[in-house]
Structure 1
Amino acid sequence: MKYLLLIYMDEAAMSEAEREHCYGESAQLAQKLHTKGQFLATAPLHPVATATSVQVRDGKSMVTDGPFAETREQLGGFFLINAQNLDEAIVIAAQIPGARVGTVEIRPVLEVAGLPES
């Protein structure tokens, strides 16, 4: 089953040097997961100040700068993985460096017919 591991943290939780170290650790985890056939994708995100939100109401698009929700922790990146079950996904999520300073939300991915295969 596919799981999306969403990494939330306060953008000020790490210095630039700590963030670069985190990227290195995340790349190592991605390589480890790849050798086990569990890796699908990962990426850090640019700061929340670069976000743009789109809503469509009554057929009209509303575009605003910034994230949809104002919160202390922002979505900072993600891993998309294959895991046998939630327990295995939890073990992987606990290895993500961002879990040490933020929160990793685990969401099972719905399989929808008709989507392109990767």
Structure 2
Amino acid sequence: MKPETAAKKLGILLAAAPQELRDASITRERLAELMAKPPAWLEELRRNGPHPRPVVAAKLGVSTSGLARAGMTEPLTSAEIQELLQTMPQWLVTERAVQHEVREEQIRVKNTKAGKAALRSERGE
């Protein structure tokens, strides 16, 4: 697989990875090995970053779209993420509230669909 795909599956920023990962095609076996027994550089990247946008969004409790709306386009380190969580700027408070509402709506829709499916199965449809 391409290095970009491997980095995405590993949850790391490709630009921060060692040259050996950036330059070579990664086999599924090598990827599985990296996931099962991560080397020190991979553990360090996962722990301290810089982190890719999906990881930053997850750690902040917002969506990647929320990051974009806030103008957060650059990768962040774990220290920068912790600083944002401690200072809680207004954009972060707003985006976390939006994300919470989205999750509640997803749960409501899921429960509604499950209820309808249960009614259909009771009726034998």
Bin for the TM-score computed over the shorter chain:
under 0.3
Higher relative contact order (CA 8 A, sep 6+): 1
* TM norm structure 2: 0.19
Bigger Rg over Cα: 2
* TM norm structure 1: 0.20
